[in-house]
């Protein structure tokens, strides 16, 4: 890889900086048919504790706002430094496995949930999973 940027890269960057175009929000709302909402949250970059707090708040907010489906992006954990640390669990110290376990073991959150897609959690090729929420009665 070279240390110098090409003129095209510099021009593209300049155009992007001066543009009024905005990047897509990673935590977006998607309205789908029959007024059923789907929301997505990306937990990349969060510590385990931060992710657990964020997901608790997110599930509560979605439930109260009538969201039916949540897509939680955790990543696959393939670049996690935990895999190199012999004192940390390679299976439970990464968000992919720990976040769904946190949710499953939280009775208050589970009262609001119909289904957690553990098939996606356990898939080595997926870095996200879905949650289906109950409706407010």
The pLDDT of residue 78 is: 55
- For the cut 80, the answer to whether the pLDDT of residue 36 exceeds it is no
**The pLDDT of residue 1:** 52
Residue 41's pLDDT band, with cuts at 50, 70 and 90, is: very high
Fold of the CATH domain 27-133 = Ribosomal Protein S8; Chain: A, domain 1 (3.30.1370)
Q: What is the rounded CA–CA span in Å between residue 75 and residue 45?
A: 10
Percent of the chain whose predicted confidence (pLDDT) is above 70: 74
pLDDT for residue 91: 44
For range 61-83, the mean pLDDT: 78
What strands lie across the sheet with 36-42, from one edge to the other?
29-32, 36-42, 67-73, 128-133, 113-116
Domain map of the chain by residue range?
Answer: 27-133
Sequence-separated (6 or more) residues with CB below 8 Å from residue 46: 54, 95
Flag whether pLDDT at 130 surpasses 90.
yes
> Could you tell me the two tokens for 1?
């890889």
């Amino acid at each position: 890889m070279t240390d110098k940027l090409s003129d095209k890269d510099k021009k593209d960057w300049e155009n992007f900086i001066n543009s009024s175009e905005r990047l897509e929000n990673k935590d977006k709302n998607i309205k789908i048919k029959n007024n059923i909402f789907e929301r997505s949250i990306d937990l990349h970059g969060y510590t385990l504790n931060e992710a657990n707090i964020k997901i608790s708040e997110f599930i509560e907010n979605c439930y109260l706002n009538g969201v039916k489906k949540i897509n939680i992006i955790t990543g696959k954990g393939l670049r996690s430094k935990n895999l190199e640390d012999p004192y940390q669990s390679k299976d439970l110290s990464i968000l992919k496995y720990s976040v769904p376990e946190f949710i499953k073991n939280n009775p208050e959150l589970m009262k609001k949930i119909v289904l957690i897609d553990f098939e996606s959690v356990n898939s080595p090729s997926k870095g996200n999973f879905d949650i289906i929420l109950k409706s407010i009665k």
